[in-house]
Amino acid sequence: MILAEERAAVCEYARRLAADGLVVGTSGNISVRSDDLVAVTPTGVDYANMRGEDVPVVSLEGAIVEGALRPTSELPMHLSVYGEAADPDGAPVNAVVHTHSVYATAVSTLVDEVPPVHYMLAAIGPSARVAKYATYGTLELADAMLAALDGRRGCLLANHGTIAYGESLAVAYNRVQQLEWVCQVWLIARSAGAPALLPGDEIRHVMEKLKGYGQAR
């Protein structure tokens, strides 16, 4: 079985999506890239019972290379990220996570950008935009997402959810978690009044600080 490690990771993180409340049922999807191949969640499969062999492997053009199940209907978004998205710091784009998380989806119906209520928004970029709504699984949605991702590592999808990428699945997953948390904080603060927001200069300052965050490997 090709990409056995990557397919196992897709299963692991798909189950985490459900456990962490970032999706309901079989919604949301995950992919991992290895050279010219992509392991991606299948469509309509219960994540709790998903096995590595259930995870299809596709080419960067979308052709199925291995696996009996059809890939997620959101494959155009995943392949568009691998083909056209560029990390602001030049890091490789090796994983994509798409959620239907509650707070971020709610925020996507209210604003065009996530309000900078907390400095961890800098994990995404100078801001997190909301991509224009388009029907799921379409090239129109993929194009709207790419426009929102310009210079960013993630975005909200209007009336839909979130998407983020990273050099690893762990990094991409952390970014959708951060997006959801910032959206939750803003909605709670907004329900009580008019929350104070951070200036753009502070978010950019934190972006620089985050470049050296964590342990050296």
User: Could you say which of 74, 84, 140, 208 is catalytic?
Assistant: 74
Token pair 């239907």 in the structure block, residue: 100
pLDDT digits (tens, 9 = 90+) for 120-149: 999 999 999 999 999 999 999 999 999 999
Domain membership flag for residue 217:
no
Mean pLDDT for all residues in the chain: 95
Write out the residue range of the structural domain in which residue 150 sits.
4-211
Domain membership flag for residue 52:
yes
180 is catalytic: no
One-letter amino acid at 217 equals R
Mind spelling out the 3-state secondary structure of the chain? Answer: CCCHHHHHHHHHHHHHHHHCCCCCCCCCEEEEEECCEEEECECCCCHHHCCHHHCCEEECCCCEEECCCCECCCHHHHHHHHHHCCCCCCCCCCEEEEECCHHHHHHHCCCCECCCCCHHHHHCCCCCEEECCCCCCCHHHHHHHHHHHCCCCEEEECCCEEEEEECCHHHHHHHHHHHHHHHHHHHHHHHHCCCCCCCHHHHHHHHHHHCCCCCCC
Q: How far apart are CA 217 and CA 212, in angstroms?
A: 12
CB 134 within 8 A of CB 153: no
Number of domains in the chain: 1
Domain membership flag for residue 163:
yes
> 205 pLDDT exceeds 90?
yes
CA-wise closest residue to 127 among 205, 200, 208, 212: 200
Domain membership flag for residue 135:
yes
Domain membership flag for residue 216:
no
Q: How far apart are CA 60 and CA 80, in angstroms?
A: 9
Question: Which of the four pLDDT bands, split at 50, 70 and 90, describes residue 215?
Answer: very low
Percentage of the chain exceeding pLDDT 90: 94
One-letter amino acid at 21 equals G
The confidence score (pLDDT) of residue 123 equals 95
What is the average pLDDT across 176-187?
98
Q: Which CATH number fits the domain that encloses residue 154?
A: 3.40.225.10
> 188 pLDDT exceeds 90?
yes
Give the global pTM: 0.95
Domain membership flag for residue 198:
yes
CB 128 within 8 A of CB 114: yes
pLDDT digits (tens, 9 = 90+) for 44-84: 999 999 999 999 999 999 999 999 999 999 999 999 999 99
Percentage of the chain exceeding pLDDT 70: 97
> 216 pLDDT exceeds 50?
no
